[in-house]
Structures are given as structure tokens and as C-alpha cells.
A and B are shown apart, each in its own frame.
Chain A
Amino acid sequence: MNVADRQVTKVRDLTTEPFNTSTHLAHAQQQADARGYEDFLIVDVDSHHYENEASTEIADYVENEVMRNEILYQGISRKGISTGFGQYQDLGGRLVRYPRRKSEEVPETPHRDITLMRRWMDAMGVDIACMFPTPLLNLGLSPRVDLEVELAMGYNRWLCERVLQEDHRLKSMLYLPFNDPEACLKVIEMFGDKPGVIGFMVTSTRYRGVYDNAYVRTYRMLEERGLPLGFHTGLGGQEPGLSTCNRFLTLHALGFAWHNMLHLSNWVINGLPERFPKLKVMWIEAGLAWLPFLMQRLDNEYMMRHSDAPLLKRKPSEYMREMFYTSQPMEMVDNARALELTFEMIGAETQLLYSSDYPHWDMDLPSVIYDLPFLTEGAKRNILGGNAQRVFNLDPVLSERKRARQAEKARASA
């Protein structure tokens, strides 16, 4: 046996190493380089930032002085152990980016959220990311409708001015205060043309049917402007049945699927795809396994109860195949045939859009799509970026890092 026959090229002492997103995701960058992601566009349609860490900044954008005072006093969210509904997604400290993120050093400019976004995007090979808030995803459950409106306005203004207009790689489907239909119209009018705004988002944990006539003008306005409407799902542990879930795993597995199942079912059966045929509708962060179930279930019952869905001219699953879905958290099933069939049933090659959900606990790297053995190279590239480019009408600009890698490759082959 040879001692020190092979050279140690680097030693890292984890006891003293500070947290840095680029280091945390160094393996993601290795994956990106090994797979040649510099050759095509990758768009992440569902990622997050922690807007609560900018509470005091956002407070400046909230017009109501009483609410502004409350935000300055208590911030946007509280997450102690007594917070209800299983708010322990960070696994008791096991996922180090949760507790250590706050200590990550960034330069004074640009905004901290921009630097953090760029770091993980470059590591994963993502060129363009649609960013969503985190605690505000639960705002639709608040009985204070005026709070939802004030925070939606303030957050959207802050995001547009401080983040989106500063970096063309960052986009968002802005928060719609869905408990106040009139305010939704104002939000679309105020922000629909702002740089980086590529659509609007409804948080799915809420209790008003999407078929309500009060929303018709909102849907029409989005349809006319060609802006997609996304439903971003959530836990919703206050739901009477789901409130029996005493483990985060159960609540997450069921809740995230349930809320989008509920609204999608109401959307289709009430004939909204026939009433707004050009409105692009997207279902976000519910994974994929629920879709074959719902397609089969709705089709079967539609055949026996036409009078419940007389606006439909086709089976529910056919409308579902024209909607859009984000990929994460893609179920890593032991039976790969189930996943392949799911892709086939939803028409994934044109309807599925890659999403990471980074930095949340169940994030997916682009390799979860790129490494699927049953997809062609073209299908992989569509799902990872081409579909998003088409749906959101994005300018397909690759990141600076990817362009540099392309130039390096060209020089090497010259």
C-alpha cells in the first residue's frame, strides 16, 4: 500500500467554513457542467425568496399606516414551535441552508435577494427564474381582507422596484389579493406592464370558489393581456380534515396536492376553459402524481353527470392536457413506468415546466428532468426551458456564466 500515493488537492474544514450558497450547491454546478446546460435555456418557473427578511423594507411600501406599524413591530411572519399547522419544513435544523442562510455574506449592492438568487441560479444552470414569496403564500387565509390587499400592493411594489427591475434574469408572477376581486383588477392594471412581471399568481390555500362571477373581469383582463394565471398551492393545515395531520410529511403530501386538486376541479367542471379559452392557467408546486388520479376521476364522473358540467364539449382530462404544470416536487417513484405514464397523460413535452422550488426543503435540480431515460433531448429542453419561453414569451438569453462557457468551448474546439 502506498502512502500519499495520490495527491490531496483541497481540504475543507467544515467546523469553521462559513455558509455560502455557491459552496452549498457546488455539486449542482458540477452536474450542470457535466450535462452541458450551457447549450440551452433553463427557466425555473417556481423558486422562492424570504420576503420576511426584508420586512422593514417592504413596510416602507405599505400605504396603510396602521399595518405599516404592525409590520415594523412584528415583521411579516413568526415561526416558533407553537405556530400552528406543522410549520417545521426545515426539519429541525437538518437542512443547513435554513438556519445558516441569514449568516451568508453578500456585497452591499445589488440587493441581497438578487445576489442570493444569482448564486443558486448559476450553480444549477438556471438562466431565468420566476420568484415567489414564502410566508405570504399563507396570506389568503387571513380574515383581514384589507391586510391581504395592503401587503399585496406593498410587496408587489417593493419586488418590482427593488428586485425585478434590477436584474433581467429575475421574473415573477405577482401576488393577486384574491379575497378582494376589485383589488385584483387594480393590481393587474398597476403592475401588468412592469419589467419582470410575466403573469399573476393566486395562492391556493383560500376559501372562495374560482368560478365566482366576481373573478370574471380578472380572468378576462389576464386573457386579453396574454398573461398566465398561476395557482401556487400550499399546506393549508387549517382545513378541518387536514388539521388532523400531526406530522409535516402527511400534511405536505396531502395539502399541497389537495388545494390545487380542488381549484382545478372547480375550474374545469364550471367550464372556465370554455369561457376563457385563451387564458393560460398553470398549477404550481403540487408535483405530478395527483394528475392521473384527477383525470381519471373527473372523466369517469363527467360521463354520468353531464348536467353538472354542461359547458364542457370534451372530457375534463382533455382540458387538463391544455393547462400547464410545474414539475416540482416530482415524485421519485420506484416504479418509473408510473412517472412515464404521467408525463404521457399530461402531454409533458409541451405542458410541463421545470421548477426547483429552491431554497425550500424539497427542491429539485434540473437533473431530475434531464436524467429521465424516457425523454428525448428535445423534450428535456422543452420542459427545462422551451415551454416556459413560449408560455411567458421570454427573451431566451443565457446567463453570463453559460455564455462564457460556450465561448470557452468554441475556443477549445477552434
Chain B
Amino acid sequence: MSEILVAARDDIPEGGARIIEIGNLEIGVIRHEDAFYAYRNFCPHQGGPVCEGIRMAGVYDDVDPEGLFHGQKFDKADMHIVCPWHGYEYRLKDGVNVCDARLKLRKYEVTERDGNVYITV
């Protein structure tokens, strides 16, 4: 395994992302709420550049214990990576698809040290 310097942490703004290419391997490094996440930039659906999409909070139907519907809302604690090709959504924290848990993004370990961000490949 190799540790690869991505950038100085301040070079990736909050909500920003970088794509690092190492030969044929593309890895997206995403900053969200001061944490960094790294995934292979490849959607298992049709091969889309999943890390190049937007991040958006998951949507839920607000249904009370009686079964009454009270509208749709964002769950801001459940941020999703959205593939820009077709809208497939994956949980930012673990890369698992929100519709079918068998679909997962390849996750890479991120380390911060001395003001820099590294990924382990």
C-alpha cells in the first residue's frame, strides 16, 4: 500500500472535491463538514464518474406513528454522493448505495497530517 499526498487541507474548500488520477485509477476526495472521504470515481451501475456529482442530503417521507404523511424532508445527517450520470445515491460516510446495499463504492482511507491530506492506495 502507498500513501499519496492529495493536497493541503486548506486547498480543498468545504463542500469541494478533487479527482486524483494515478495511472488508470481515479479517486475522488471529498470534503464535507470538515471531514475528508475518498472513493473510487466509478459508479457500479454504468461506470459513471460518481465523485464528480453533487452531494445532497437524503430525502425521507415524514410519516408519523399513526401512518399519516407529513411531507418530504431532507435528513442532513445522512449526506449522499449522487452519481451525475443517472442519480444513483450512495451514503457519503460508507459508500453504500441507498437503494441496494449490494452496490458499494470502493472506499480509501484518508489521513490528515501536518495540514495535508493523504489517501492510502
> Could you tell me which A residues sit within 8 Å of B by CB distance?
1-15, 24, 26-28, 30-31, 91-97, 332, 361-365, 367-368
Contacts and interface: CB of A to CB of B under 8 A. Distances in A.
Contacts of A13: 16, 18
A365 B47 contact: yes
A97 B84 contact: yes
B49 A363 contact: no
Interface in B50-106: 52-54, 56, 82, 84-87, 89
B8 interface: no
A28 B84 CA distance: 13
B35 interface: no
Contacts of B7: 11
Given A3-B3, A11-B20, A13-B18, A94 B54 contact: yes
Interface in B6-32: 7, 12-13, 16-23
Contacts of B85: 95, 363
Across the A-B interface, the 4 shortest Cβ-Cβ residue pairs: A5-B2, A10-B21, A15-B16, A12-B19
B49 A8 contact: no
Contacts of A7: 22-23
Given A27-B42, A363-B85, A9 B21 contact: yes
Nearest to B88: A94
B47 A27 contact: yes
A30 B19 CA distance: 16
Contact of B2 (A6, A95, A97): A6
Given A3-B2, A11-B21, A95-B85, 19 more contacts: A2-B3, A3-B3, A5-B3, A8-B22, A9-B21, A12-B19, A12-B21, A15-B17, A24-B52, A24-B84, A26-B49, A93-B54, A94-B56, A94-B87, A95-B86, A332-B45, A363-B85, A364-B46, A365-B47
A94 B120 CA distance: 29
A30 B118 CA distance: 27
Contact of B53 (A5, A96, A332): A96
A12 B27 CA distance: 10
Contacts of A9: 21-23
A361 B22 contact: no
Contacts of B21: 8-12
A135 to B, nearest CB: 21
